[in-house]
Chain A
Amino acid sequence: MSALKRKFVKGNEAVAMAAIEAGVQCYFGYPITPQSDIPEYLSRELPKNGGTFIQVESEIGAINMVLGASACGVRAMTSSSGPGISLKQEGISYMAGSELPGVIVDIMRSGPGLGGIDASQADYHQATKGGGHGGYRIIVLAPNSAQEMYDLTMLAFDLSDQYRMPAMVLADSVLGQMKESIVTNPRPKVDLPAKDWAVRGTGGGQQHVVKSLYLGDGEMEKFHWKMHARYQELADKEARWEAFAADDAELIVTAFGCTSRIARTAVEMARAEGIKVGLMRPVTLFPFPKKAYADLSSHCKKWLTIELSTGQMVDDVRLAVARDAEVEFYGRPPGAGSLPTPEELFTQIKKFC
């Protein structure tokens, strides 16, 4: 058991440290700003911990190596940002279709195209709505601090193994690059199902095949309903969120990731002036904690969604609360100089109140 230590690290480093603590066996990655710290850290530390690190030819190569390693039942991870995550969509779709675990870290930067390297939240749809083809979802966790970059990376491995599907840690350049003090929590003791489906060499026993091809009559339809049921189970059991000052709130501000930190400061400023405003921060973006939102909307009739985009998560907020409440949106699409200040958000809160 590793000793609990405080370390002052970048969010990206926290992700890499957590992966090692979580027992990642293989990391395959490619440099791209703003996440290159992750492969850099793992290139030094993963081999020392008995794992395999390869800087590979492309993000396509990387996701396919994760597929192969995961098919063998080992923990495997890759990380990237916008353009690289786009390249990985085919591989992620295959992993979802093959019911393979695996962790993909997405440190969002602005897009579309080459875009820029500033923080963005405009890949929310790509992450949460099954960014590749075929109609699947992946687990998406949204940290908002270096500590959560650490803890949620470990959770991503556990949920991914538990539910046999890919899991994504969705952050952005601010979270990746900022330095905060973290506690290097030990890997949680979780009862996970055995990976008895993995390929291993038959050893004379039953053949194991990892595939996503379903051609037989009714087979594919059955697979889709099975996945649908699994996503429902996720929604029932694994939705996570953080609510702050929400119980008596007349307006709830909702945001994820780094935006939620700025929003919290604005909410505290508003509370200091006696405005009854709260903050609702989803931690799982898939499953989106819609029941928790709906419960809050039974007493709170005004919601202000804030995102570093022109509005993506707001759709899910509306789906959850629009029957009972009014939803407003304030967005700062990504790019240099577009990170809002707490004062700016406080102005928006007052405007909507």
Chain B
Amino acid sequence: MKQVFSKPVSLKDVQTHFCPGCHHGSIHRLVAEAMDSFGIADKTIGCASVGCSVFLYGYFNIDVVESPHGRAPAVATGVKRARPDRIVFTYQGDGDLAAIGTSEIIHAANRGEKITVIFVNNTTYGMTGGQMAPTTMPGQKTSTSPNGRDVANDGKPFKMAELLSNLDGVAYSARVALNSPKNVLQAKKIIKNAFQYQVEGKGFAFIEALAACPTNWGMNPLAANQRVGSEMIPYFPLGVFKNNENL
């Protein structure tokens, strides 16, 4: 008998604080699998952000720098420019990247910093209790949009993968989801590609991962998972929007 599926080496063997059905755990695992596949964990420096993913250092066997809210792409720029031979990635949520951090992500992307950015879009602010996010969908009720997101008041949700793909400095931009085995396997390939860009020194790579937030959506894990497919994917289409190296 052979073990054909196991925990990646660069992921710590600990129970996570993520809620049941939260896709952060899956995304963490795919990032760790990508690092293992290239054998790069021992030269990787992660830039943690603020949100449910703040405890990055508790889950990956890699060096980590904590960044202020939204600033991870700037911190990662500092790290990568100081240590160009290291692998540097950020891991950010929708408030972090698409609200307070819009300046930092756009400019790091525009400069073509040779880093990898993992952006988790669950259409809400998880850690702080389910407030509206820049990615909250029209009509979606949150603790700060109790009557549903009103486009006239708050605009429409951002589509970050498409927005960034328009910048010349971006070499790879894609959107994935974790709501079905097929999508998980596809996400695995795409996240690996995103790290391959950096391993080969080929430029800025951006992955937007659609995720469920059962607790703040007020749904059980299976219903929340269902929502990703039925409501989010039609609005935030999966796919690769930029792929300079045709990986």
Check A-B contact in the complex, CB < 8 A. yes
A 199-217 to B, binary, CB cutoff 8 A, 1 in contact else 0:
1111110011111110000
Contacts of A71 in B (CB 8 A): 65, 75, 78-79
- Give the interface size class of chain B: 35 or more
The smallest beta-carbon distance between B67 and chain A, in angstroms, is: 7
Q: Mark A153-169, 1 if CB is under 8 A from B, else 0.
A: 00000000000000000
B78's partner among A57, A66, A208, A213 (CB-CB below 8 A) is A66
Which one of A90-98, A172-180, A324-332 is at the B interface? A90-98
Chain A residues lying within 8 Å of B82, measured Cβ to Cβ, are: 25-26, 52, 68-69, 72-74, 76
Most buried by B among A70, A73, A207: A207
Contact among B65, B87, B111 with A68 in the assembled complex (CB-CB below 8 Å): B65
Q: Mark each residue of chain B from 70 to 85: 1 if its CB lies under 8 Å from any CB of chain A, else 0.
A: 0100111111111100
With A61-B107, A64-B74, A94-B68 known to touch, is A202 a contact of B79 (CB < 8 Å)? no
> At the interface, yes or no: A67 with Cβ under 8 Å from chain B?
yes
Contact mask for chain A residues 43-69; partner B; CB cutoff 8 A; 1 contact, 0 none: 000000000101011101110111111
Chain B hits for A67, CB < 8 A:
65, 67-68, 71, 75, 78
A28, CB-defined interface residue at 8 Å: yes
Give every chain A residue within 8 A of B44 (Cβ-Cβ).
201
| Known contacts A57-B107, A60-B103, A213-B66; is-contact A207 B78 (Cβ 8 Å) | no
**Complex contacts, B78 vs chain A, CB 8 Å:** 26, 28, 64-72, 76
The residue from B45, B61, B74, B83 contacting A61, defined by CB atoms under 8 A apart: B74
Contacts of A69 in B (CB 8 A): 78-79, 81-82
CA distance A66 to B81 in the complex (A): 10
CB-defined A-B contacts under 8 Å, sample of 17: A25-B82, A26-B81, A57-B103, A60-B71, A64-B68, A64-B75, A69-B81, A71-B75, A71-B79, A72-B83, A74-B83, A76-B78, A199-B65, A200-B83, A207-B63, A210-B65, A211-B57
